[in-house]
Amino acid sequence: MKSTTASSDDDEGEQEQSPNIILHSLFILFFTGCYQSTGDTANMARHVSIDPGKTKPAVTSSPKKKKKTIYLTFDDGPNKGTRHVLQVLTEEQVPAGFFVVGEHVYGSRDQQATWDSLQQNKWVEIYNHSYTHALHNHFEKFYANDSIVVSDFQRCSDSLHLNNKLVRMPGRNTWRMSTVNATDIVKSKAASDSLYNEGFVVVGWDVEWRFNDSLKLKQTSDEMINEIDSVLLNNQTKTPDHVVLLTHDQLFKDSAEISLLQKFIRRIKSSDEYRIEFVSKYPGAVH
């Protein structure tokens, strides 16, 4: 009987403890499942590989289109039109080169004052256009003797204390630089060579803003831009994508011509195709 009772007591004890055992087991299973789930998620994150075929290509910006360069140049100053040109350049904040004549600087008080304004303007570079403008437009006599030509340009450089060697020959579209060698009139070839041999860089032009006998511009600003477009498109400039524009200070004495110049510059500035630069930045302009 005792053994039976004892056995019965043990069974009852086991029955009383079974709920705790069940709860404990459930807790262990739950905790283990959570841990495994967390670990599996972490492992999955570590081992997931991205299909290269599904990756987005890197976004790259298209290269900027190279702009064509226009060099504005004004000859024969200082004179009555020079101040108006200076005013437009300052308002529009664009660079330009002035090929000055030495005698014109000393021609009058007004010209001397204009000369001072040229030197002080940050939008201006000053270049050499000879001292006497080819012995006062006696071109054949001037270019017949290359030593006279060199002396005249040197006189202009010395008297005006010019800080560069860029020159333009009066009445001649001649080039002498490291990248361009061109002569329009054979009789001036020796003089051009002599200038270059003496260290000068001779700059011609690609297009000209022409004028009539009344000193009025022949082309409108739109026509001038169309001409520039054409010579660049047809590779008719001395250097591809670079165009030197020749015009003259004295053409801009009247409001109509001044307005044309300003309109021309504003159209160039608003174009994505062009930029305006000093002639000293022209390829090969350094001896």
Q: What is the pLDDT of residues 84-142, one digit of tens each?
A: 999 999 999 999 999 999 999 999 999 999 999 999 999 999 999 999 999 999 999 99
Burial of 261 (0-12, 13-18, 19+ CB in 10 A): buried
Is residue 232, in this structure, part of any structural domain at all?
yes
- Number of domains present in the structure of the chain: 2
The domain spanning residue 233 has which CATH number? 3.20.20.370
Contacts 24+ apart (CB under 8 A), 141-147: 142/170, 142/191, 143/169, 143/172, 143/185, 143/187, 143/188, 143/191, 144/187, 145/191, 146/190, 146/191, 146/193, 146/194, 146/195, 147/194
What pLDDT score was predicted for residue 45? Answer: 42
What pLDDT score was predicted for residue 66? Answer: 77
pTM above 0.95, yes or no: no
Check whether residue 134 and residue 3 sit in a common domain.
no
Is residue 160, in this structure, part of any structural domain at all?
yes
Is residue 287, in this structure, part of any structural domain at all?
no
Task: Give yes or no for a contact between 157 and 129, defined as CB atoms under 8 angstroms apart.
Answer: no
Using the structure block, give the residue that is written with the tokens 């630089």. 177
What pLDDT score was predicted for residue 65? Answer: 72
Q: Within a 10 A sphere around the Cβ of 156, how many other Cβ atoms?
A: 24
Whole-angstrom distance, CA of residue 155 vs CA of residue 8:
136
- Which tokens is 135 given? 């012995």
Is residue 26, in this structure, part of any structural domain at all?
yes
Q: In this prediction, what percent of the chain has a pLDDT beyond 90? A: 76
Check whether residue 190 and residue 244 sit in a common domain.
yes
What pLDDT score was predicted for residue 15? Answer: 44
Whole-angstrom distance, CA of residue 78 vs CA of residue 101:
7
Is residue 57, in this structure, part of any structural domain at all?
no
Check whether residue 118 and residue 170 sit in a common domain.
yes
Check whether residue 127 and residue 256 sit in a common domain.
yes
Check whether residue 234 and residue 94 sit in a common domain.
yes
User: Residue 182 gets which letter from DSSP?
Assistant: E
Check whether residue 143 and residue 242 sit in a common domain.
yes
- Domain of 21 in residue numbering reads as 1-37
Check whether residue 7 and residue 75 sit in a common domain.
no
User: Residue 181 gets which letter from DSSP?
Assistant: E
Check whether residue 204 and residue 115 sit in a common domain.
yes
Distance between alpha carbon 49 and the CA centroid of its chain, in Å?
47
Check whether residue 32 and residue 110 sit in a common domain.
no
Check whether residue 206 and residue 264 sit in a common domain.
yes
The parts of the chain modelled with pLDDT lower than 50 are: 1-19, 21-24, 26-32, 34-50, 54
Check whether residue 229 and residue 174 sit in a common domain.
yes
Is residue 149, in this structure, part of any structural domain at all?
yes
Task: Give yes or no for a contact between 276 and 269, defined as CB atoms under 8 angstroms apart.
Answer: yes
Check whether residue 13 and residue 144 sit in a common domain.
no
